[in-house]
Amino acid sequence: MKSFILPKYLLHAHLGPFGFSLATITLVFLLDLVFRQLNRILSKGLPWQMVAEFFVLNLAWIVATAAPMAVLTATLMTFGRLAADNELTALQVSGVSLMRLAAPIFVCASLLAVGMMWFNDGILPECNYRVRRLATEIASYKPGVRLEPGVWFREFPHHAVLAQQLEDSAGVTRATQLLIDDNSRPEIRRTISAQHGVITPQPETGKFLLTLFNGEVQEIDHQKSGEFHRLVFTKHSLSLEAEALFPQRHSEEPRNDREKSTRQMWQEIEAEKVRQARRREQLQQILARRPEPHPLTEQKRLAYEEGERFIQSLLVEIHKKYAIASACLVFVLIGAPLGAWAKRRGAAASASLSLGFFLLYWAFLIGGETLSDRRILSPCCRCGPRISSPGRWGYVFFGMWQPGIKFCLRGFS
């Protein structure tokens, strides 16, 4: 059991900073999302269930992005504290290398990376798909109550509502001096007036329930020589159809690259490769018959290039799922020697290093994806030359990083 004392101590020292870093980074991303969407949410008057669902679904991509950075920050803080308290020096004098100290954290980061791969491939695409559908529903959502005092509201089918005073509270609207013009039956002109009433939305049925108090109903039947009816009531309920005022959930929508699992994308890649082979054969046959430029030749060539871009974009998404998760391992290798190096520079140096690597990580993530989508870089060195000639730049790009990787590993020696 004594052999596990040091790993337990290191993991215990790493767990707190990791949880704190993950919560902080997630909160920063979440606050940014809130500030960007707050105006739209408030102006729409969305129900709290829809707002909660929107932010919970967005947590998926936030956690997928924040987890690797939390590993880096926690590793820097852990080894920085060990170095600042001279515990790292004492352990190294006792014959414990930095590689051995980082081993238990590396094992836990490996487990986290495997879990993130499963998360990025299984849960994240479904959350991305659902949040896009929900964003579409929010964009088309019309608030349940948009009545303005003294202005006719004519968005109810066959009904127009006029209220002199309005007060919103607890998801309902209380109105005073109501006047309702009912045109549901062309042969009858009906007007309803009430001293006050309550308007309650019913999203599950796509209707609004109007509960009216102390009023009267006046009807004129044009088919019966203008026969007039008048009914006085103390309480009257009226249900108004208004499906267009509630968000409409569509059963199925096409998924984009970030909303597909790895298995779905590989299936699409194989199907597209078959179509590409057919296009290549057709293009060769056309060129054999018509060597000179022809509109049909240009059309086939553009279709072939579009197929290549489609395959490239899917490969980018496939490798990105595993690359982001594998960053947890890379950040342990980077964070351990850098945390030990920053021992004499205090917590400010560790925070600056974390921020610097965070910006570098984010820039390479966005820039690498953009360059790969444009077929300037390959998503992986192995499949680059088979995709296109620009894919060979992936080997150059990897070679540029070899000195940096050797520099990080040298810190463990």
The pLDDT score that the predictor gives to residue 363 is 82
3-state secondary structure of 98: helix
Q: 9 and 115: one domain? A: yes
> Which of 36-40, 194-198, 281-285 holds the top average pLDDT?
194-198
Tell whether 253 is covered by a domain: no
DSSP 205-269: TTEEEEEEEEEEEEEEEGGGTSEEEEEEEEEEEEEEE-GGGSPPPPS-----GGGS-HHHHHHHH
Query: Residue 388 above 50 pLDDT?
Result: no
pLDDT digit string, tens, across residues 184-198:
887 788 889 999 898
3-state secondary structure of 351: helix
Q: 320 and 303: one domain? A: no
The pLDDT score that the predictor gives to residue 1 is 45
Tell whether 164 is covered by a domain: yes
Higher-confidence residue of 49 and 383: namely: 49
Tell whether 252 is covered by a domain: no
pLDDT digit string, tens, across residues 4-24:
788 888 888 888 889 988 998
Q: 8 and 137: one domain? A: yes
Tell me which residue range forms the domain holding 289.
Answer: 258-307
From 197, 223, 245, give the residue that closes a domain.
245
Q: 292 and 343: one domain? A: no
Q: 105 and 219: one domain? A: no
Tell whether 68 is covered by a domain: yes
Nearest to 61 by CA among 130, 134, 124, 112: 124
CA distance 391 to 345: 42
Tell whether 147 is covered by a domain: no
The pLDDT score that the predictor gives to residue 17 is 86
The pLDDT score that the predictor gives to residue 23 is 92
Q: 298 and 221: one domain? A: no
| pLDDT (average), residues 331-335 | 86
Q: 7 and 136: one domain? A: yes
Number of domains present in the structure of the chain: 3
Q: 48 and 133: one domain? A: yes
Structure tokens at 147: 């009545």
The pLDDT score that the predictor gives to residue 394 is 37
| pLDDT (average), residues 254-261 | 83
Q: 95 and 118: one domain? A: yes
27: confidence class by pLDDT, cuts 50, 70, 90: very high
pLDDT digit string, tens, across residues 139-192:
666 554 567 788 888 778 788 888 888 876 656 788 888 888 888 887 788 889
* Residue 354 Cα distances to 22, 50, 71, 81, 359, angstroms: 13, 35, 10, 15, 9
